[in-house]
A and B are shown apart, each in its own frame.
Chain A
Amino acid sequence: MTKPAVKHLWTDEQLDQLLGNLLRAGVVTAAAIVVAGAAVYLVRHGLQIPAYHVFRGEPSDLRSVRGILADVFSERGRGLIQLGLLVLIATPIARVVLSVAVFAVRRDGRYVVFTLIVLLVLVYSLLGGQV
């Protein structure tokens, strides 16, 4: 950030704008997928009585990415909703990945290291923290 020689590659304003657009696109995409899934789910199950006062946990097919995709392709509402939530969770992670790339292009070594640490913590916790 302090090197004026490479500043023409990516200014801070351009970076902010890029990351802002990415976040907005991710949230809007996730919202669209969830709304589509909710529409499918409500059409099929809208007239049932909810039993949300009992906690059941998610069914096993909604706990893995592969299971969720299988549910999406068989056009199940809950699979679509879950896919939308996955997109929503992936959005801030994509933002960090993109900032690593931009800082690398700007040859801003210190910020690349900082952002990589953030990315490492994110990925570690996403994998269940068991590594």
Chain B
Amino acid sequence: MTILLFSLLLWLGSLGAGLLGALTGLGGGIVIVPLLTLVFGVDIRYAIGASLVSVIATSSDRSSARGC
């Protein structure tokens, strides 16, 4: 699997994760971490970093949409 294919699959997964995270109010991390570690076999430390970034993005966006 090339980096291109990996990024594409991960992009689709993250889209779903963002949707689910925004709907449930949990942030994307709850989907992204298992997706990265269990499905793609990525090291857990990379997965934690990705999860933190997604938490910043979703929480910023949510509070802007709700008017803080």
Contact = CB atoms under 8 A, between A and B. Distances in A.
Interface residues of A, number: 31
Contacts of A16: 67-68
A23 B63 contact: yes
Contacts of B59: 92
B6 A50 contact: yes
Interface in A38-94: 38, 42, 45-50, 52-55, 85, 88-89, 91-92
B39 interface: no
Interface residues of B, dominant DSSP: helix
Interface of A: 13, 16-17, 19-24, 26-27, 30-31, 38, 42, 45-50, 52-55, 85, 88-89, 91-92, 95
Contacts of A52: 6, 40-43, 46
A26 B4 CA distance: 27
Contacts of A50: 1-3, 6
A9 B34 CA distance: 48
